[in-house]
Amino acid sequence: MLAHDLAGAALQWLTNCPANVQKEPPVPLALIDAYMATKDWSGLEAWLIDQKWGELEFVRLAALSRAEEQQRNNVAADAHWRLAVRQAGDHLGPLTSLLSMAGGWGREKAREDLLWQIFERFPRERWTARELERLYANKGNTRGLNKLYGAVAARDGKDFMAKNNFAATALLLHTSLPRAHEWAEEIYRSHPTEPIVASTYAWSLQMQGKTKDALAALEKLKANELQSTTVALYYGLLLSADNQTESAAKYFARVDLAELLPEEKELLAAARRNLNVN
């Protein structure tokens, strides 16, 4: 009935069922769907408020939170959401269900918090790191990425790309610089032909005032590797720092702004201003 735009009729039919039927799964879930489809938020709240759902209590609390949120009772909504998360506890299924609800309801902060909770409590669920990376990258949240890469590297010391990405974001943020420089060099020694690794190491050298050494590290790459967005950006920055302005401008033209973090965009903008002055 919901699929055929008969939400009102579905709600009326369900609420007219005997009380004992309404309590039997999956009827309560169907009732939630019907109330939400009709946007009867006060009705949903009134129906949920004095119930207990046993193993599905986290669903009741989450739905109650949604009903309160839609009525702009944000204090109660936040309190019931926290109770829902607490009720889910250390159970992966309930936590992922709440994660799906948070995403569907546009609760970005709640979704982020749940992803971290699952990441920390269930190390084998590697999809959480990918989801967090996508979330932070889409928002241009370099600090979030730095935190994530640091956590992944701490969990798996053999994940050289996580260590590289931690170093790269730390350099952009000017934070944890001793460790960033150390890891950038360590990873480059082991993976000198990886373009992203080379660009991180090169920028680490540049930040230490070693422009010539930084250029030498990148110029060991193949010509086509120098033209990918991230590598082209850093190669162009180094060329600009070395006063090779015409060559720098050519590499800046290869950069896709959509792929850059905010701090990288600032570096590019500053370098381009410098090229125009010169």
Residue-range domain boundaries for the chain = 1-88, 158-278
Q: What is the C-alpha separation between 268 and 236, in angstroms, rounded? A: 9
Nearest to 252 by CA among 227, 274, 276: 227
Phi then psi dihedrals of residue 223, to 5 deg: -60, -40
| pLDDT tens, the chain, 278 aa long | 555 565 566 565 566 555 664 566 666 787 888 888 889 999 999 989 988 999 999 999 999 999 999 999 999 999 999 999 999 999 999 999 999 999 999 999 999 999 999 999 999 999 999 999 999 999 999 999 999 999 999 999 899 999 999 999 999 999 999 999 999 999 999 999 999 999 999 999 999 999 999 999 999 999 999 999 999 999 999 999 999 999 999 999 999 999 999 999 999 999 999 887 54
CATH 1.25.40.10 fits domain 158-278: yes
Nearest to 38 by CA among 13, 75, 65: 13
Global pTM reads: 0.89
Buried-exposed string 174-204: b where 16+ CB fall within 10 A, e elsewhere: eebeeebbebbeebbeebeebbbbbbbbbbb
194 SS3 class: coil
Q: 197: which 2 tokens?
A: 């690794």
Q: 239: which 2 tokens?
A: 């060329």
